[in-house]
Structure 1
Amino acid sequence: MGSVALNRHVIGDEVSLASIAEQVATIARKNLAPMAPAIDAGTVYPDELLHRLGDVGAWGSHLPKNGAADLRCAIHSIAALGEVCGATAFMAWCQNTLVWYVANSTNPKLVAKFGDKFSTGQILGGTGLSNPMKSFFGIEKLKLKGRKVDGGYIVKGALPWVSNLGPNHFFGTIFEREDEPGGIVMFLADCSDPAVSLQPCKPFLAMDGTGTYGVQFRDVFVPDDLILADTAGPFVKKIRAGFILLQAGMATGLIRDCINIMNEVDPPLGHVNRYLPQQPVNFAELLAELEAETMTLAADPYNEEESYWRKVVALRLRLGEASVAAAHAAMLHCGARGYLKSHRAQRRLREAYFVAIVTPATKQLRKMLADM
């Protein structure tokens, strides 16, 4: 992400956060780039690559230390992946968000059992908060229901889309208590549970290799050891800025590659592209501005001030809109060559729309700002 420096070192480790981001960028260029079309088409789910990224520290850089957290390295790493493949950047966000949930849980048994396994990439997983995040802002009702039983809860219902999943994966989500009006509980769902079923989704416009499924809960017993927060409201308020800010890497990486695409076609097409209203220099200036704002906010994700939260939401809205604008401009700069399925410009455009519609989507962000 440009020239923003990362100098903080991991406590007790000689590997700097800058080094982690650099290693992720190397893996992205050498190993991910050849796989990107297959991931986009849905013929590959890159689980081995996600495990390898865990080996170099990609999923553990944002772990809280001494009551503070710093998301900057994680966002840099997601951006490095996003510059090559939007789908993998999205999966990286899923994994990092799962780690974020566990790292902020006050359930000691859950943290002891899963913290290191998620943050090292030994176990992969995702986030099932799309429906809950919409429900908190009056857009949907919670789709999962649960009731207290001895040693845990029984949960039923279905979520239409949860990503970065597989048979042995986990994800965090929320159910509404049927036995306690207004009560909501956040928990880890175990995809290997026989009462949890993963249903393949219809083909998407892009990013079919993201391990996205519909998830059915048929009276699933969720033990107390899998409860992230028994009173989910305050917990969600604590993690919400991190949830949104980690998505910034998807946008900034994509925008950077759209700038690259425009620059690549400048030698043969610059003489006519100069008549287009949006030029790569304009997006380079916008990207620098968005990155600087992201890095400022990402250094303080536990900030409880309402003005800070408004800045996070406003930034996320700008990132989604800038992604679509940059990808649109890249297509126009490429002309007919970008319209070929073999050219990545059309993939970047399809991925950009995902950045704009993934929760929180453009319309939800605008509603949130209006409600503030």
Structure 2
Amino acid sequence: MGAPACPALLEWLDDHAAGLDDGHADPAVLLPRLGDAGMFGIGVPAEFGGQGGDVTDAVEAIAAVSARSLAAGFVFWSQRSFIEYLLQSPNAALRGRLMPALLRGGVAGATGLSNAMKALAGLEPLQIVAAPENEGYRLGGRMPWVTNLRAEGFHVAAAIAHSDGSGALVASLPHDAPGLRRSEDLSLLGLRGTSTAAIDLRAVPLAPADIIHPDAATWLPQVRPAFLGLQCGMSIGLARRSVQEAADQGGAAREVLRQPVLLLRQRLAAEEASLREGLRAQAFQTRAAPLFELRIRLAGLVAEAVGLELQASGGRAYLQPHGEGFARRWREAAFIPVITPSLVQLKAALAARPGAVAA
């Protein structure tokens, strides 16, 4: 698959990557930039306002953006994941109401389902509870880490347990819902332009019109492959960029590292093919373990790639201004293992399978 991002967007991302990482760039600008470039419509059926294709095209788009800026790729992943939730929702009215603004980047879509994905794997309980009230619900709870909570307006997807223990639902909560409070941006080591914050819910009303799916246990396994597959695009893009940076270095390092660079590119391409084939065949809906393992392997390739970039650059990687891009990618690579679900959580889920053998 070729990179679908337009040259003007890629140039803008190169110019603003440092600011999006350290927080000096205005985070309000990023989402409309991606929307104006048509990025959010990639892999979205034309009948819903998109450009057609499938979710693998969106994975490639996220990879192309992440190669320039993981902060931008992180925001892109959140927005596109939220769009995917609406595409896979039976609530056509909600989709029709929210989709146009999401596709153009006029409003943010925050994928607050990290807790839900961990709950699905048996790693933690749901953190939001719904008590019935009239024809709807009142919600209470907290989401401690959510990305793309754009100050100018957002909708956040949340998995919500019924107070009577009868199951859970998935809903879209608007930023201006009574009782919904967004914290200040979290003080991250990098990716500070991603509008990442916490959300507290205190007696927040929820109407049936805002329910993405009434049965989380049925719906979450259906959407999890897209959630994780799109997330893998971040790793693919960052690994590609570091491998290319290593290959572009001159001098003795170029010859010594030629073979390791070639082998890493081949392994990365093989993992990309496995992801693409699994998503298109819908193989991960009934068998999540291969997708978990693929995500773990991609994170390992990212670590190897930035290591090769460091070796190829040598001491220049530790000098300003030459090393600024490398330093940002090194921090970005450190984030890949802790994106929810983290590698530790994925490994714990794999180890908990019946008949699993500890490595």
TM-score normalised over the length of structure 1: 0.86
Deviations 1:304-328 (A, max 9, x none): 443xx33222211111121122112
SS at match of 1:59: helix
The answer to whether 1:99 aligns with 2:99 is no
Deviations 1:270-322 (A, max 9, x none): 27x82x7983222211221122112212323476443xx33222211111121
Return 5+ residue gaps in structure 1 as ranges.
6-20
Aligned pair partner of 1:174 in 142, 148, 159: 159
Q: Does 1:128 align with 2:109?
A: no
Is the Cα contact below 8 Å between 2:22 and 2:193 reproduced in 1? yes
RMSD over equivalenced CA pairs, Å: 2.4
Task: Select the residue among 89, 93, 99 that pairs with 1:115.
Answer: 99
Tell me the number of residue pairs that the alignment of Structure 1 and Structure 2 aligns: 346
Q: Once the two structures are superposed, what CA deviation does each residue of 1:114-168 show, in whole Å capped at 9, x if it has no partner? A: 1232233232221011222222223222211111112321111111110011231
CA contact (8 A) 2:42 2:53 kept: no
The AA in structure 1 aligned to 2:127 is K
Cα distance between partner residues in 2 of 1:336 and 1:92 = 33
| Partner residue, 1:291 | 272
- Could you tell me how far apart the structure 1 residues matched to 2:319 and 2:159 are? 42
Q: Which amino acid aligns with 1:73?
A: D
Task: Provide the C-alpha distance between the structure 1 equivalents of 2:141 and 2:285, rounded to a whole number of angstroms.
Answer: 33
Structure 1 match to 2:66: 82
| Counterparts of 1:203 and 1:332, CA distance in 2 | 30
Partner of 1:145: 129
Residues 81 and 88 in structure 1, CA contact (< 8 A), matched pair in contact too: yes
Q: Would you say the 8 A contact 1:25–1:81 is kept in 2?
A: no
2:16 corresponding residue in structure 1: 35
State the SS of the aligned residue for 1:214: strand
Aligned counterpart, 1:51: 32
Offset of residue 336 of structure 1: 2.4
Unaligned runs of 5+ in 2: 354-359
The share of aligned pairs that are identical, in percent, is 27
Tell me whether 132-141 or 297-306 shows the greater mean CA deviation.
297-306
Q: Give the corresponding residue for 2:290.
A: 311
Matches of 2:6 and 2:348 in 1, distance apart?
Answer: 35
Corresponding residue for residue 215 of structure 2: 231
Does the residue aligned with 2:243 lie in a helix, a strand or coil?
Answer: helix
- The amino acid that maps onto 2:301 is A
- Counterpart of 1:176 in structure 2: which amino acid? A
Write the distance in 1 (CA, Å) between the matches of 2:213 and 2:328: 38
Q: Distance in 2 between matches of 1:27 and 1:280?
A: 29
Conserved? CA contact 1:70–1:301, under 8 Å: no
2:198 is aligned, of 214, 233, 254, to 214
- The amino acid that maps onto 2:231 is Q
| Paired letter, 2:299 | G
3-state SS in 2 of match to 1:200: coil
Task: Indicate whether 1:321 and 2:300 are aligned.
Answer: yes
Partner of 1:18: none
Query: Is 1:253 aligned to 2:253, yes or no?
Result: no
Residue 270 (structure 1) aligns with: 253
Instruction: Give 1:280's aligned residue.
Output: 261
Q: Structure 1's 230 and 163: CA in aligned 2 closer, same or farther, altered over 3 A?
A: same
